[in-house]
Structure 1
Amino acid sequence: MKQRFELARTRLRRVQSPGWRPKAPSGTNVSAESRMQELQLRPYHDLSGAIFRAEAGWSIPAGYDSLDAEVRAIRTRAGMIDLSDRAKIELAGSERVPFLDGLVTTDLKIIGPGMSTYALLLNEKSRVLGDLRVYALADSLVLDIEASQKDSIVRLLEKARVSDDVEFRDLGLCGHIEVHGPSAGEAVSAIVGTDVRSLSDNAFLTFSVDRHHDGRAMRLRAFGEDGYAIWSAGASLAEAWEALVRRDVTPIGRDAAEVLRIESSVPRFGADMGEDTLALEVAPESAISYTKGCYVGQETVARGTYVGQVRRKLLGLRIEGDMPPVRGDPVSRGEQKVGAVTSAAWSPAVGWVIALALLRVDAVSPTDALFVDRGGWSLRARLHPLPFVRPGA
C-alpha cells in the first residue's frame, strides 16, 4: 500500500503542476477532453480501479468494483465519496446574512458560527430554482453547491444583489470528502484529531489540514447513517484520503451514492425537484422555515401550508421485477395518470426496485395497484413508506 500511495502522490504532484492538462485517450475528442475537469484525487481513484463518467463538466468516479458492495459498506461499516467537484462560494460583507436570508428557505438569522443549514432557492411562485448548504463562519458565509448548479446560483445571487454590502468570492478548487456509515465517526475523528461524534447534526468544527490550510468537518445524515463532510479550500485532502483507506473505509462511486440517496428518500435538484415543482411538494421538512418571515416564494409556501393547496407530493414506490423505470415514466392507477417517476434504482439493501415519484395525493392510496409505463412495459407498483431503508438496515 505504501508504494501505491507514493505512486499516487507522484501523479498528484504532476496534476497540480502549472500548465498540466490530461492526455486524451486515443480516439477521443481532444477539445471535449480538454474542457473536462479532473478531481485532484484522480490518481487515488485510478489506483482503486475507478470507472469514470462525465458530469457537469467533471470526470467523476461512477464506481470502483461492485455497486452492491459499495452500498453495503456504508450500511454496515463506512464508505467515502470524493465530492471535490462541488463549488464553494464565499459571501462576505456586513449585510451578507440579511441578503442571503431573503433568498433561501431556512432561517439564517438563528445559526451562528460553527453551524450549517441545507436550504432551497425559490422563485416568486415557490418553484425550486436550486439547493445548497450554507456554512456560517465568524466573518463570512460559505455556500456549498453542486457543480451543475454553480453558474445558475451565482447568476441568481448577482441578480438579487442591488446595494447590499455583500461580496462574492469563488474559493476555487476545494478538497471535499464525505464519509458515511456506522463507523464513520471513529474514522473521521482519527483524521481530524478531534472526536467529531460530539457534534450535533449540521454543526462543524475547524481543524488544521497542513501548515497552509484549514479544514471543516461537519456532521450530517445524507443517507440516513451517521455521516461527515470534510472540506478545505485549496487543499486536495490527499493525506486524509490515504488515512481513511488505511482505516479500511471503502471508496464509493457516484452510482452507489445515487442508490443510497434514493433508499434514503433524499430529493435531488434536477431529478426530483426543479422549476416544475413547488417547494412543498418535494422539500425535506427541515429545509423550510415557517417562522422566519419574508423570502422569495414565502407567500406561496405559507398559503400552501395553511390553506392546504398542495396536490402532489414526492412519494415512494416499490416496483415488481428487476427493471428500474427512468425519470418521467408515467404512473397510473387504472386508466388514470396520477404522476410520474423522478428517480429509481435497484436497491441492494431491500432486494427490489424502488422509486421516488411525484404523485397526486388525492388519487393514490397504499392499497392501490399502480402501474409504471417503462417504454411500453407495464411495471406493477405500490406505494411504500419513506425512507425505504432506515439506519442500521
Structure 2
Amino acid sequence: MVMVSPSITQLTTTSTLCLTRRSIYFISPSSFRSPPSTITHQYSYPLSKQTRRPLNIISAANLPFDLAPPPIDHDLLDTAISAGAKVSEDGIAETFNNDDEALDTVDKGTVVVDLSHYGRIRVSGEDRAHFLHNQSTADFDSLHEGQGCDTVFVTPTARTIDIAHAWIMKTAITLVVSPEISRSITEMLNKYIFFTDKVEVEDITMRTKLFVLVGPNSNKVISNLNINDLVGQPYGSHKHYSVNGMPVTVAVGNVVSEEGFSLMMAPAAADSVWKALLSHGAIPMGSNAWEKLRILRGRPVPGKELTNEYNVLEAGLWNSISLDKGCYKGQETISRLITYDGIKQKLWGINLSSPVEPGSSITIDGKKIGKLTSYTATRKNPEHFGLGYVKRSGASEGDTVTVGDNVVGKLVKVPYIAHQRQPPQKTKS
C-alpha cells in the first residue's frame, strides 16, 4: 500500500479493474487476449467508521470514472447530518442552517455545494464526439482531451431541453445535466444512435458524486490542495487527481459560473474530499441557498426558464452555440432566427417590491409583455428577486414593470446571461 498525504496529486498512470458489488479486483494480463496497461500505483481506502469493513481498493487510472464503484457507505450523508444539516428524503442536504452566511460568502469567500443530485451521463465509443456534435449545439468535433464546454440539448425547433456541461476525457465524454432529467436525456440520446454508430450512452449518476466550489477564493482553496496547474485555465479544462489516495476529476467552472471549480469522484471518495475542502476554508451550502443563488445569478433550468415555450436564443445561451459547425438538431431554426433577427423575447432579472408567484404575467401599462419564471426572497435590498421572459420590443434594462396584479419590478441584467457572448450581427448587403 502506498502512503499518501492529504494533498491532491495528479493521476497519470493507468490500470485495469474488475468491479463487483462490494469490491474491485485487479485482473492479471493473462485474463486478456492483449495485455492491459501496467499498474504502477495502488491506493488503499481506510475502514468505514460505521461498519469497520474495508472500503474498495482502486488504482490510479487515466480515467477514474470510466469505471466507478457503486455506493457502499453513507459517510458523506452522516458527515452532513453530524454538522447540523437538514437532509431531504432523497438524501439532499437542504440546509446547513447557514443559508444567509453561505450566500454572503459567495461574494467574499468560497462555498462548497454537494450537487450529487445533478445528473452525470457518460458517452463513450469511437463516434462519441461526432454523435454529440450532431445532437446538441456545441462544436464537439473541435474539442480535445482535457477541454470542456457547455452545450444545449434542444428540440428540432430549437426549444430548450437542458444545458449540459461536457468534459472531454480520453475514452469518454462526461455530461453534467440538471436534476431529475438524466434518464430522459439518456433515453433521448439512445433513441438517436443508429446501428452503425459506435456510441454507448450510460447514466452514471448513482456511481459518482459531484461537488462545486463557488466564490472569489476558490482558486486559493484549490491551490491549497496542490492543484495550481488548473488555476487560470479556460472554462471546462479538467484533469484527474488523487485526494488522499482517491481519484477525483477537477474542472474549471461550475453550474452557475465560468469561475470556480467542479469535482467529480466515486462515492467512496466523497467524504474525504468534502472534509479536505472544508479544512481549506470552504463553507458548506445547502440546496435551498443554492436555488437562491441560481436565481440571483440568472442560470436557466428545465421546467422554469428552459421549456417548450422558449428557444435557446431567447434564453441567451450564446456561449453554448456553434454558428458554423454544420448540421445538428435545431440548427435550421437557430440559423433562421439569427439571419432574420427573429428573437422575440429575452430573459431578464427582475428586482421586485414584494413576493409574487412564478407564472405571473409581466405587464407595462396593462399590456402583457412577458411572464415570471422563478422567484426568491433575499436578505439584501431588494429583498425580492425573480427571473422572467420579456418581449424585446416591450421593455429594456432599467424599465419598471408590473408583475402579477400590483407588484412593482425593475428589469436588470443577471451575471449568467450577461457573460454570454453574442456574435456581432452581419451587415446586410
Q: TM-score, normalised by structure 2?
A: 0.76
Matched, 1:62 2:101: no
Question: Which residue of structure 1 aligns with residue 49 of structure 2?
Answer: 10
Matched, 1:226 2:259: yes
Question: Which residue of structure 2 aligns with residue 384 of structure 1?
Answer: 412
Q: Tell which structure's C-alpha radius of gyration is larger.
A: 2
Aligned AA (1:384): V
- In angstroms, what is the RMSD of aligned CA positions? 2.7
Aligned AA (2:391): R
Distance in structure 1 (CA, Å) of the matches to 2:114 and 2:267: 15
Question: Which residue of structure 1 aligns with residue 68 of structure 2?
Answer: none
Q: How many pairs align?
A: 355
Question: Which residue of structure 2 aligns with residue 115 of structure 1?
Answer: 147
Which consecutive unaligned segments of at least 5 residues does structure 2 have? 1-46, 57-72, 420-429
Aligned AA (1:201): Y
Do the aligned partners of 1:41 and 1:236 also contact (CA within 8 Å) in 2? no
Question: Which residue of structure 2 aligns with residue 294 of structure 1?
Answer: 327
Matched, 1:178 2:212: yes
Aligned AA (2:275): E
| SS across alignment from 2:224 | helix
Distance in structure 2 (CA, Å) of the matches to 1:12 and 1:346: 42
Matched, 1:154 2:186: yes
| SS across alignment from 1:240 | helix
Aligned AA (1:82): D
Question: Which residue of structure 2 aligns with residue 277 of structure 1?
Answer: 310
Distance in structure 2 (CA, Å) of the matches to 1:214 and 1:83: 18
Question: Which residue of structure 1 aligns with residue 292 of structure 2?
Answer: 259
Do the aligned partners of 1:50 and 1:64 also contact (CA within 8 Å) in 2? yes
Which consecutive unaligned segments of at least 5 residues does structure 1 have? 1-7, 18-37
Aligned AA (1:247): H
Cα pair distance change 1:267/1:226, threshold 3 Å: same
1:314 to 340, 347, 351: 347
Cα pair distance change 1:389/1:367, threshold 3 Å: closer
In terms of fraction of residues, the more helix-rich structure is: 1
1:247 to 263, 280, 283: 280
Aligned AA (2:412): H
CA deviation after TM superposition for structure 1 residue 362, in Å: 1.0
Question: Which residue of structure 2 aligns with residue 23 of structure 1?
Answer: none
Cα pair distance change 1:217/1:366, threshold 3 Å: closer
Question: Which residue of structure 2 aligns with residue 204 of structure 1?
Answer: 238
Question: Which residue of structure 2 aligns with residue 41 of structure 1?
Answer: 76
Matched, 1:190 2:229: no
Do the aligned partners of 1:114 and 1:136 also contact (CA within 8 Å) in 2? yes
Distance in structure 2 (CA, Å) of the matches to 1:315 and 1:133: 22
Distance in structure 2 (CA, Å) of the matches to 1:13 and 1:371: 60
Do the aligned partners of 1:92 and 1:141 also contact (CA within 8 Å) in 2? yes
Mean Cα deviation higher: 347-356 or 82-91: 347-356
Aligned AA (2:220): E
CA deviation after TM superposition for structure 1 residue 331, in Å: 1.0
Distance in structure 1 (CA, Å) of the matches to 2:140 and 2:177: 17
CA deviation after TM superposition for structure 1 residue 188, in Å: 2.1
CA deviation after TM superposition for structure 1 residue 131, in Å: 2.4
Distance in structure 2 (CA, Å) of the matches to 1:302 and 1:121: 16
1:75 to 86, 90, 107: 107
CA deviation after TM superposition for structure 1 residue 122, in Å: 0.9
Question: Which residue of structure 1 aligns with residue 126 of structure 2?
Answer: 94
Aligned AA (1:275): N
